[in-house]
Amino acid sequence: MIGYTGMAFTAISLLILGNSSYLGWVAAIIGSLIWVVYGIILKLYPILGINLILIAIDVRGLLLWTGIH
Report which of 69, 65, 68 is spatially closest to residue 23, judged by C-alpha positions.
Answer: 65
d(C-alpha 2, C-alpha 47), whole Å:
13
d(C-alpha 55, C-alpha 36), whole Å:
10
pLDDT digits (tens, 9 = 90+) for 31-63: 999 999 999 999 999 999 999 999 999 999 889
Full-model pTM: 0.82
pLDDT band at 69 (very low <50, low <70, confident <90, very high): low
CA distances to 40, 45, 46 from 12, in Å: 23, 24, 23
d(C-alpha 8, C-alpha 4), whole Å:
6
Three-class SS state of 1:
coil
